Chains A and B, each alone.
Chain A
Amino acid sequence: MFKFSFEWLKSYCDKNITPEEVFKILNLQGFEFQGKEKIGSDIITAIEVKANRPDMLSHIGIAREINAYQNKSLPLIPKALAKNDNKKFPIKINISDEKTCKRFCALLIKNVNNKVKTPEYVKNRLEALGINHVNPVVDILNYVMLDMGQPMHSYDIDKISNSELNVKKAPSNFKIKTLGDTEEEIREGDIIISDKEKTLCVAGIIGTDAATVTSESKDIMLEAAVFNEVSVRLTSRALKISTPSSFRFERGVNAESSMDILYYCAKTIKEICGGEISSEQFNYYSGNQKNNSIKLSLKNTNSLLGTSLNIEEIKTYLEKYGFACTELPDDALEVNVPSYRLDVKKEVDLIEEVARIHGYDNIPIEMPTIRTSYNKNSIWTAMDHIRSILIGMNFSETINYSFIPNNTMELLGIKDNDSIYSNILLQNPISNAYSLMRPTLVYSLINCLAYNYSVRNTDLAIFELGRTYFKDKPIDTGCKERNTCGIIMSGTRIPKGWGCDKEVKYSYYDLLSYLEVIMDYFGLEFELENIDYRFCENGSACEILSSGERIGFIGELNKKCFGFVKNVKLIKDKIFYCEFYIDKVGFKSKKLRFESKYPPVKRLYNLVHSKNVRAKEIEETIKNSSENVREVKVKDIYSDKNMSPSEHAVLYEVNYCSKLNTLTLEEIKNIENNFLKALNNKFNASLKS
Chain B
Amino acid sequence: MSNLEAEINSKEKLFLEEISTLKNINDLNTIKDVYLKKYMRVLYSNLKTVKDLEEKKNLGKIINDFKKLLELKISETEDRFSLKTTSSEYDFTIRKDSIKLGSGHPLIKLYKKIEEILISMGFSVVQGPEVELDKYNFEMLNMPSHHPARDMQDTFYITAPNVLLRSHTSSVQIRTMLEKSPPIQIISPGTVYRVDDIDPQHTPMFYQVEGLMVAEGISFANLKAVLITLLKEVFGESIEVRFRPTYYPYTEPSAAIDMSCTECGKRGCRTCGYSGWITVLGSGMVHPNVLEGVGYDSSKYSGFAFGLGLNRLALIYYGLGEIRKLYENDISLWDQI
Contacts and interface: CB of A to CB of B under 8 A. Distances in A.
Q: Are A and B physically bound partners?
A: yes
A467 B242 CA distance: 36
Contacts of A498: 96, 98
Interface string B230-266: 0000000000001111110100111110000000000
Contacts of B246: 30, 32, 50
Contact of B245 (A29, A365, A426): A29
B331 A457 contact: yes
A467 B158 contact: no
Nearest to B255: A360
Contacts of A348: 252, 285, 287-288
Interface stretch (B1-9, B22-30, B75-83, B102-110): B102-110
Interface in B7-35: none
Contact of B158 (A346, A361, A427, A451): A427
Given A29-B245, A355-B245, A494-B98, A374 B130 contact: no
Interface string B109-149: 00000000000001011110111110000000000001111
A109 B316 CA distance: 59
A50 B251 CA distance: 14
B156 interface: yes
A474 to B, nearest CB: 14
Contacts of A478: 131, 158-159, 163
B247 A306 contact: no
B177 interface: no
Interface string B213-225: 1010111111011
Q: Give the contact-size bracket for chain A.
A: 35 or more
Q: Give the contact-size bracket for chain B.
A: 35 or more
A455 B101 contact: no
Interface in B189-204: 191, 193, 195-198, 204
A156 interface: no
A495 interface: yes
A51 B149 contact: yes
A400 interface: yes
B101 A452 contact: no
Interface stretch (A385-393, A522-530, A588-596): A385-393
A467 B184 CA distance: 26
Given A391-B103, A393-B102, A399-B107, A477 B242 contact: no
A480 to B, nearest CB: 9
Contact of B151 (A29, A51, A451): A51
Given A428-B195, A437-B158, A51 B147 contact: yes
A564 interface: no
Contacts of A233: 146, 148
Interface stretch (A211-219, A375-383, A612-620): A375-383
A426 B165 contact: yes
Contacts of B129: 477, 479, 481
Contact of B213 (A370, A400, A461): A370
B331 A477 contact: no
Interface string A348-367: 11011001100011011111
Contacts of B42: none
A544 interface: no
A363 B221 contact: yes
Among A365, A427, A428: residue with most chain B CB under 10 A: A365
A365 B329 contact: no
Contacts of B285: 304, 348
A434 interface: yes
Nearest to A478: B163
Interface in A452-481: 452, 455-457, 460-462, 466-467, 469, 476-479, 481
Contacts of A451: 328-330
A306 B329 contact: no
A35 to B, nearest CB: 10
A305 B221 contact: yes
Interface in A303-343: 303-307
Given A396-B102, A460-B331, A437 B287 contact: no
B157 to A, nearest CB: 4
Contact of A27 (B151, B163, B244, B329): B244
B183 interface: yes
Interface of A: 27-30, 32, 50-53, 229-230, 233-234, 250-251, 303-307, 346, 348-349, 351-352, 355-356, 360-361, 363-368, 370-372, 374-375, 377, 379-380, 387, 390-403, 424-430, 434, 437, 448, 451-452, 455-457, 460-462, 466-467, 469, 476-479, 481, 483, 494-495, 498
Interface of B: 96, 98, 100-105, 107-108, 122, 124-127, 129-133, 146-149, 151-152, 156-160, 163, 165, 183-186, 191, 193, 195-198, 204-205, 207, 213, 215, 217-222, 224-226, 228-229, 242-247, 249, 252-256, 285, 287-288, 302, 326-332, 334-335
Top 3 nearest A-B pairs (CB, nearest first) are A306-B221, A30-B245, A306-B219
